[in-house]
A and B are shown apart, each in its own frame.
With several copies, the nearest count.
Chain A
Amino acid sequence: MREFLEGSLAVARIVKACKPGVISAYPITPQTHVVEELANFVANGELNSQFVNVESEHSAASVVLGSVAAGVRSYTATSSQGLFYMSEVIFNIAGMRLPLVLTCANRAISAPISIWNDHQDSISLRDSGWIQFYTENLQETIDFHLISYRLSEDKHVMLPVMVCMDGYTLTHGIETIDMPDEGKVDSFLPPYKPLYKLDVENPLSLGPLADPDYYMETRYAIHQTHKDVLEIIPKLALEFSKVFGRHYNGLIEEYHTKDAERVIVAMGSVCGTVKEVVDELRAKGKKVGLLKIVAYRPFPAEAIYEALKNIPKVAVLDRSLSLGSYAPVAAEIKAAFFGKKKKPQVISSFVVGIGGRDITKDSIKEVLRLVNGREKSNEFIDLKPELLKEEYEQ
């Protein structure tokens, strides 16, 4: 049904439709509205779920770890400092092969403290074994929450999924969406049937110690599953489109890339702004395009290769840093082309929108201008020179 909703409320609505039996989260801007709305549903008897208010994110993640291990679909959401404070649990959940969906309202990391949007929080957990989706708009955001539960609980997957939505831009942005009706949701997402769980009838021991004779294979198994997930996601997306009539590739989205001379690679809500610029410049006959990465983990190297192999100039936008090295997304895109015959002449890497710095059409045009020049690495866009002066005078 067509609605005009704030992103956070939309997410709460779709989560409600997925009927998690246990919800636990700890407040942090800009994730708060999601959890508050879920609290309302429970308070008003609209959602039958155990809403566990906890004393920290570490416990929020641990509570849902425990509830999923006990065989009940669960949900949590966080941001930034909260995601880092639970990071040990994040790795643990993936290592224990527990299915879960977490909404990450992307926000910058302290110090200095910032409540505004960039991708440093979820990107810095890219090694954890979690599947990660980055969404462009609210429709995509709610649809991928639904897909994520299916994916996560697939018995060939059994891995947690993080749906990453840009803080404020999407969490606090209000726009028109088509909210899937609960009946269809139920048909797409059956009740959770755990492969293994804590059960007095069949007492398992979960989370043992694995010495050097056993540990390595457990990592290998997760890595292999991620490879499988690259196959499973498009299948699920297809199934989703059959039920809901909205089509996703699930791994990437190509926008005017086919004949493009310059392509921007990006993730998240900035893709909307990039599309605007692409249309503008296309109207002026400029051959530009966008490659949107939707699934960042597993990293769809093959799909990205196919999409970019014939593009002369590629500009990768990173909204996070690996301080002292290549920006995370750029590094992997470049790696994807090593040893390949077909490849772009230039892959330049740009850093935009860090700590909430506004990304305008001009920012994107500047990127497209610079990608014409020689290869750039970690080129920061929209820096304020006066602040840099201050920096170096001290």
Chain B
Amino acid sequence: MNSEKKPLLAPGHTACAGCGQAIAARLVIDAAGPNTIVANSTGCLEVFTTKYPESAWEIPWIHSLFENSAAVASGIEAALRYLGKKEAINVIAQGGDGGSADIGLQAISGMFERGQDILYVCYDNEAYMNTGVQRSGLTPFHSNTSTSPAGCASYGNIRPKKPMPEIALAHGIPYVATATVAFVPDLQRKVKKALSIKGPKYIQVHVPCPLGWRHAPELTLEIAKIAAETGLYPIIEYENGTLVGVRKITPRPVEDYLKPQGRFKHLFKSPEEIKKIQAIADTNILKYGLAASNKP
């Protein structure tokens, strides 16, 4: 992948050591290539790549606000169409899970509905990290965050993850996929595949956050891998509404995933709560047919 080319996201950015989003963002832009314009929501990625006067980006990049990257990208795409350059140039809108599933959802929905030729990438680190780990719509059940704290009257976040891929799918767009920073070729293939399709595309990438998840920085990729292997983060791919790809797994117990993360520490006092999380994984495994055994 760009083996000899210099990366399009330069070093010297100010992400935390071991930031999963920093890895994924570089993999995505390298897969997209230099003829790409990126509109970025406010969030860690924006902050750690473009603190004036230094930018880590090697491609044309714009940040406006937290909730409007899909709309800004829509304007860029319209401008390129007006200029007759759309065929030659990719437009990517990207943001964190909060900027995508919560405050940015309406702009994304509008962009989907208009059928604009844009790839939206959601870097899912499962909370508002830039502001200090508050819950988002994609924060998993029972996760301990600063606005869904565990306490004597609480086990953490009370709601399951908002099913963003399904919501994107429901819009009837041609391409929807989940990916993870742990499976690099799969992620980059999906980005290229998406960009080869005309119309709105949505990719949601699971990116561990050592700070917010409270795991050792060297475990970033390992934890992402376990997330997929437990079934808690199904790696799936839809084209024109049909499930065309599923990353098969030999399911591991969710404890393997929860254990190394501080955000789930409180659960190990109450095993029955962990069962509930295992149930979520089991549902996913059935729903998407993740178990390798399911293979024909």
Q: Using a CB–CB distance below 8 Å, which chain A residues touch chain B?
A: 21-22, 24, 26-29, 32, 35-36, 39-40, 42-45, 48-50, 52-56, 58-59, 62-72, 74, 81, 85, 88-89, 92, 96, 110-113, 198-200, 202-211, 214
1/0 per residue B25-61: CB within 8 Å of A? 0000000001111010010001100111101011111
With A27-B131, A39-B148, A65-B72 known as contacts, the answer to whether A211 contacts B51 (CB < 8 A) is: yes
Q: Find the A residue at minimum CB distance from B68.
A: A62
Q: How far is the CB of B234 from chain A (nearest CB, A)?
A: 23
With A36-B147, A203-B57 known as contacts, the answer to whether A65 contacts B110 (CB < 8 A) is: no
A208 CA to B50 CA, complexed, in Å:
5
From B39, B61, B81, A66 is in contact (CB under 8 Å) with B39
Q: How far is the CB of B114 from chain A (nearest CB, A)?
A: 7
Q: How far is the CB of B15 from chain A (nearest CB, A)?
A: 14
Q: Is the CB of B51 within 8 A of A209?
A: yes
Q: How far is the CB of B71 from chain A (nearest CB, A)?
A: 3
Q: Is the CB of B103 within 8 A of A53?
A: no
- B149-157, B253-261, B279-287: which lies at the A interface? B149-157
With A59-B107, A89-B64, A204-B60 known as contacts, the answer to whether A27 contacts B147 (CB < 8 A) is: yes
Closest 9 CB pairs of A and B: A66-B75, A43-B151, A62-B71, A55-B110, A70-B79, A205-B55, A207-B63, A63-B75, A59-B71
A150 CA to B64 CA, complexed, in Å:
24
CB-CB under 8 A from B34, the residues of chain A are: 200, 203
Q: How far is the CB of A316 from chain B (nearest CB, A)?
A: 30
- B132-140, B201-209, B211-219, B223-231: which lies at the A interface? B132-140
CB-CB under 8 A from A85, the residues of chain B are: 67, 103
The answer, yes or no, to whether B89 is at the interface (CB within 8 Å) is: yes
Q: Is the CB of A54 within 8 A of B110?
A: yes
A43 CA to B149 CA, complexed, in Å:
6
A88 CA to B65 CA, complexed, in Å:
8
Q: Is the CB of B64 within 8 A of A111?
A: yes
The answer, yes or no, to whether B195 is at the interface (CB within 8 Å) is: no
CB-CB under 8 A from A21, the residues of chain B are: 79, 82-83
Q: How far is the CB of B55 from chain A (nearest CB, A)?
A: 4
From B42, B47, B76, A70 is in contact (CB under 8 Å) with B76
CB-CB under 8 A from A63, the residues of chain B are: 71-72, 74-75, 78
A22 CA to B86 CA, complexed, in Å:
14
With A53-B135, A55-B110 known as contacts, the answer to whether A62 contacts B37 (CB < 8 A) is: no
Q: How far is the CB of A295 from chain B (nearest CB, A)?
A: 27
Q: How far is the CB of A367 from chain B (nearest CB, A)?
A: 27
Q: Is the CB of A39 within 8 A of B82?
A: no
How many residues in B have their beta carbons less than 8 Å from beta carbons of A?
A: 64
CB-CB under 8 A from A44, the residues of chain B are: 151-154
Q: Is the CB of A36 within 8 A of B134?
A: yes
CB-CB under 8 A from A28, the residues of chain B are: 131
CB-CB under 8 A from B102, the residues of chain A are: 55-56
A42 CA to B75 CA, complexed, in Å:
17
A29 CA to B73 CA, complexed, in Å:
26
With A208-B50, A211-B51 known as contacts, the answer to whether A59 contacts B60 (CB < 8 A) is: no
With A66-B39, A66-B75 known as contacts, the answer to whether A208 contacts B114 (CB < 8 A) is: no
CB-CB under 8 A from B37, the residues of chain A are: 70, 198, 200
Q: Is the CB of B76 within 8 A of A67?
A: yes
Q: How far is the CB of A256 from chain B (nearest CB, A)?
A: 40
> Would you give 6 A-B contacts (Cβ < 8 Å), ordered by A?
A27-B131, A36-B146, A92-B64, A200-B37, A208-B51, A208-B52
CB-CB under 8 A from B66, the residues of chain A are: 81
With A39-B149, A72-B83 known as contacts, the answer to whether A24 contacts B51 (CB < 8 A) is: no
Q: Is the CB of A53 within 8 A of B114?
A: yes
With A89-B65, A110-B65 known as contacts, the answer to whether A22 contacts B109 (CB < 8 A) is: no
Q: Is the CB of B147 within 8 A of A210?
A: no
CB-CB under 8 A from A56, the residues of chain B are: 67, 102-103, 106, 110
Q: Is the CB of B60 within 8 A of A209?
A: no
Q: Find the A residue at minimum CB distance from B116.
A: A52
From A32, A58, A113, B71 is in contact (CB under 8 Å) with A58
With A69-B76, A70-B80 known as contacts, the answer to whether A55 contacts B113 (CB < 8 A) is: yes
Q: Is the CB of B131 within 8 A of A64?
A: no
Candidate in B52, B58, B74, B106 with the most chain A CB atoms within 10 angstroms: B52
1/0 per residue B95-115: CB within 8 Å of A? 000000011011101100110
Q: How far is the CB of B134 from chain A (nearest CB, A)?
A: 4
Q: How far is the CB of A324 from chain B (nearest CB, A)?
A: 22
With A36-B146, A62-B72 known as contacts, the answer to whether A55 contacts B106 (CB < 8 A) is: yes
CB-CB under 8 A from B264, the residues of chain A are: none
Q: How far is the CB of A152 from chain B (nearest CB, A)?
A: 16
Q: Is the CB of B61 within 8 A of A205?
A: yes
From A45, A65, A92, A205, B75 is in contact (CB under 8 Å) with A65
Q: Is the CB of B50 within 8 A of A209?
A: yes
Q: Is the CB of B83 within 8 A of A59?
A: no
From A53, A54, A88, A112, B148 is in contact (CB under 8 Å) with A53
Q: Is the CB of B82 within 8 A of A29?
A: no
From B63, B79, B134, B137, A71 is in contact (CB under 8 Å) with B79
CB-CB under 8 A from A88, the residues of chain B are: 65
With A39-B148, A205-B55 known as contacts, the answer to whether A96 contacts B64 (CB < 8 A) is: yes
With A198-B37, A199-B60 known as contacts, the answer to whether A50 contacts B147 (CB < 8 A) is: no
Query: Which chain B residues (6-29) contact chain A, with CB distance < 8 Å?
Result: none
With A66-B39, A209-B50 known as contacts, the answer to whether A52 contacts B74 (CB < 8 A) is: yes
Q: How far is the CB of A105 from chain B (nearest CB, A)?
A: 12
The answer, yes or no, to whether B184 is at the interface (CB within 8 Å) is: no
Q: Is the CB of A62 within 8 A of B147?
A: no
The answer, yes or no, to whether B128 is at the interface (CB within 8 Å) is: yes
A65 CA to B106 CA, complexed, in Å:
17
Q: How far is the CB of B75 from chain A (nearest CB, A)?
A: 3
CB-CB under 8 A from B249, the residues of chain A are: none
The answer, yes or no, to whether B62 is at the interface (CB within 8 Å) is: yes
CB-CB under 8 A from A66, the residues of chain B are: 39, 62, 64, 71-76, 78-79
